[in-house]
Structure 1
Amino acid sequence: MLQDKDVIELAIVDDHPVVIEGVLKLLDNKEHLRVAGSFTSGMEFIDFIKTSKVDIVLLDISLPDRNGMDLCKEIKILSPGTCVLVLSNHSERSIIMQALQNGASGYLLKNASPTELITCIHEALGGQITFSREVKEIIARPSVIELRGIPQLTKREKEILQLISDGITTAGIATQLSLSPLTVETHRRNLLQKFEVKNVAALIKVAVQQGLI
């Protein structure tokens, strides 16, 4: 286990110097944790991790130069043994789950207490998936999508939903399924109503979350 090492190499990636300074002060007297570096951009850290060993990184997913979610995935590819602990202001359940899907070992909000941060660091190093208290509460609450349930779709609606997600136009769907464009538009409107969304982008997003496409 990483937590059994004599010295744990830790890095901080956050574009707010005040956050970095606060974490540095918090970790200053932790003898088994050594801050290997602090970085205000994703590219700086990627360059660093290519040549240096990092056991755990505290990663803000809102960075000026990189998408934090993509960065999390890239870190795990470059250094599979590095634990990624997201430290963020974003409290949306979907973002938390996406971070985990991209390889994060845990997720904390920036209002977490110092004790929570230290606990989460040790749990992540011990191989656990870890969260601050507030994140645990967010995950435990069912999402609006889960409460709403999965809409019951006809076979034709499922076909059209798949074609819409493939980027096929109304005319293209009509040709492919031997339907009139008006019929396809009617099915499209019915899908929007069943999923309780206002546009195709939202329709596809919800359908993906529910595993329908």
Structure 2
Amino acid sequence: MRTGLGAHGYLTKNSLLTELVHGLTTVAGGRPFLGSAIGLALLRRYYTTSSVVGDAARATLGPSKGETEVLSLVADGLTNAEIASKLFTSKRTIETHRQNIMDKTHTRNTAALIKLAVRQGLLPE
């Protein structure tokens, strides 16, 4: 996704069609877009090099232990079904945890959630 003025969005070749369409729509609307795989990779890199923040941000938003665990697995790139399998629970439970986290953080999608998690240190190291 490029314009004559440089790149305004980035997706990996493994992106799903729905993310591609969302990315194109976002960039066409004049807003930048970063694919979720890129955001997740940046998040992993950030947490392997930074030990700052964390407790204060976690205390402020107060995600439960289950929500924190789900957020960590989302950041690892797992789908809701994969997380459910890994935690021996239902996909619906994972969806509920994920929605609760997004409600608490006032984020609208996974990319925004990951961006906030990086900024505020919401993930365990």
User: What residue in structure 2 maps to residue 165 of structure 1?
Assistant: 75
User: What residue in structure 1 maps to residue 93 of structure 2?
Assistant: 183
User: What residue in structure 1 maps to residue 63 of structure 2?
Assistant: 153
The answer (yes or no) to whether the contact 1:157–1:187 under 8 Å persists in 2 is: yes
1:193 and 2:103 equivalent?
yes
CA shift for structure 1 position 64: 4.4
Gaps of 5+ in 2: 8-58
CA distance in 2, matches of 1:150, 1:204: 17
Task: Identify if the C-alpha distance between structure 1 residues 64 and 188 changes in structure 2 by more than 3 Å, giving closer, same or farther.
Answer: closer
CA distance in 2, matches of 1:153, 1:194: 8
Task: Identify if the C-alpha distance between structure 1 residues 64 and 210 changes in structure 2 by more than 3 Å, giving closer, same or farther.
Answer: same
CA distance in 2, matches of 1:150, 1:201: 21
CA shift for structure 1 position 212: 1.7
User: What residue in structure 2 maps to residue 207 of structure 1?
Assistant: 117
> TM-score, normalised on structure 1?
0.30
- Please tell me whether Structure 1 or Structure 2 has the larger radius of gyration of its CA atoms: 1
What amino acid does structure 2 have at the position aligned with 1:167? G
CA shift for structure 1 position 209: 0.2
Task: Identify if the C-alpha distance between structure 1 residues 189 and 64 changes in structure 2 by more than 3 Å, giving closer, same or farther.
Answer: closer
Structure with the largest fraction of helix: 2
Task: Identify if the C-alpha distance between structure 1 residues 170 and 64 changes in structure 2 by more than 3 Å, giving closer, same or farther.
Answer: closer
CA distance in 2, matches of 1:198, 1:171: 20
> TM-score, normalised on structure 2?
0.51
CA shift for structure 1 position 183: 0.6
Number of matched residues? 68
What amino acid does structure 2 have at the position aligned with 1:195? T
What amino acid does structure 1 have at the position aligned with 2:122? L
User: What residue in structure 2 maps to residue 38 of structure 1?
Assistant: none
CA shift for structure 1 position 150: 3.3
The answer (yes or no) to whether the contact 1:150–1:210 under 8 Å persists in 2 is: no
CA distance in 2, matches of 1:158, 1:191: 8
1:1-213 alignment to 2 at 5 Å?
A: 64=6, 150-213=60-123
Structure with the largest fraction of strand: 1
CA shift for structure 1 position 207: 0.8
Deviations 1:161-208 (A, max 9, x none): 000111100000000000100111111110110000111110010011
Task: Identify if the C-alpha distance between structure 1 residues 165 and 64 changes in structure 2 by more than 3 Å, giving closer, same or farther.
Answer: same
| Identical amino acids, percent of aligned pairs | 47
